[in-house]
Structure 1
Amino acid sequence: MTDSSSSVVDEETFSVRRTIHIAASVDKVWRAVTEPEYISRWFGRTVLDGAGVGASGTMTFSNGAAIPLRVEAKDENRLVAYAWSNDDALGDVPAELDEATATVFTFTLDEVDGGTRLTVVESGFERTSDPLANLEDHRTGWDSELDKLVALVEGEA
């Protein structure tokens, strides 16, 4: 990984952003951010009821919380967006995606010399119970999770 910049919070747009360079092909990174069995190896155990837009399921973390998840957008090898009900400040996780408080995280992939530039942007924090606390929690979360993604993908490259 040639670029290991940290996630950045934008309090004006209530979003978190991180861009990294991964020394692996776009195809390999695409699989890592779209295939549940691959996502489960670096993020949280992911189960989806399909592969396209509208597919829903859960992402379960080590604390046992099963976060409702849905594919919002997909452009093959370019962009995938997921909505999830992951309001850290609430404590209780809803059984289904809560449209009123869900945030959306979008992975955008670009082919660059030596691999792939991956950008994640998570937005919608203004709808959560404690926007500023959730922004900070997710900022540190994206740092940790994307570092694991890079280690996995580059380790297999």
Structure 2
Amino acid sequence: MVDMTRNEASVIDESRFSVRRTIRIAASVEKVWQAITDPEHFSKWFGRIAFDGAGVGARGSITVEGFGVIPMRIEAIDEPRSISYRWGADDAAGAPKAEVDEHSTVFTFTLEPVADGTQLTVVETGFERTSDPSANLDSHRRGWDEELDKLVALLESGA
């Protein structure tokens, strides 16, 4: 059994309408970067993801169990330090949209090498534009806890 790294839970900043979680992963920056940018690897821990390209502006979607198909767009890349995705994951709005719109949020992964692997921070912003900011903040806080724990388990198992 792998002794998984223990990480703190996500936190909500209601004044900034954001969710943040910083975790440590016993894996190299290169492996973590691949897991958060390569659709094949991303799909192993989060949801089935597909893009029409790999650069800024590429459009795609992620299919998440219980939420259906969610539109996404790559907003910014600073390889291998950070990547930002915009997605139409407004849980309170009902059916997902076909495209990201003014109600979408942006999540940014930032990677930093540390002695025992990689520190990964995710910050999701823009909840003030969603249909129910409070409900979406809480839902996404729980979601980042669950999804990033899967990422840690995947990478620390050697997969």
- Common fold by TM > 0.5: yes
SS at match of 2:118: strand
Q: Distance in 1 between matches of 2:146 and 2:94?
A: 20
> 1:63 Cα shift?
2.8
| Structure-1 residue corresponding to 2:123 | 121
- CA-to-aligned-CA distance 1:88-127 (integer Å, 9 cap, x gap): 00111111111x1010000000000010000000000000
| Structure-1 residue corresponding to 2:92 | 89
Q: Distance in 1 between matches of 2:116 and 2:67?
A: 37
| Structure-2 residue corresponding to 1:21 | 24
| Structure-2 residue corresponding to 1:102 | 104
Q: Distance in 2 between matches of 1:64 and 1:84?
A: 13
Amino acid aligned to 2:25 = I
SS at match of 1:156: coil
> 1:19 Cα shift?
0.2
Amino acid aligned to 1:105 = F
- CA-to-aligned-CA distance 1:3-48 (integer Å, 9 cap, x gap): 4100000000000000000000000000000001111010010000
CA contact (8 A) 2:5 2:152 kept: no
| Structure-2 residue corresponding to 1:112 | 114
Structure 2, gaps ≥5 residues long: none
TM-score (ref. length: structure 1) = 0.97
| Structure-1 residue corresponding to 2:134 | 132
In angstroms, what is the RMSD of aligned CA positions? 1.0
Q: Decide which moves more: 60-69 or 127-136.
A: 60-69
SS at match of 1:39: helix
Where in structure 1 do 4 or more consecutive aligned residues deviate above 4 Å? none
| Structure-2 residue corresponding to 1:149 | 151
Amino acid aligned to 2:135 = A
SS at match of 1:18: strand
Q: How do residues 34-53 of structure 1 correspond to structure 2 at under 5 angstroms?
A: 34-53=37-56
The answer to whether the aligner puts 1:8 opposite 2:11 as a matched pair is yes
Count matched residues: 156
Identity %: 62
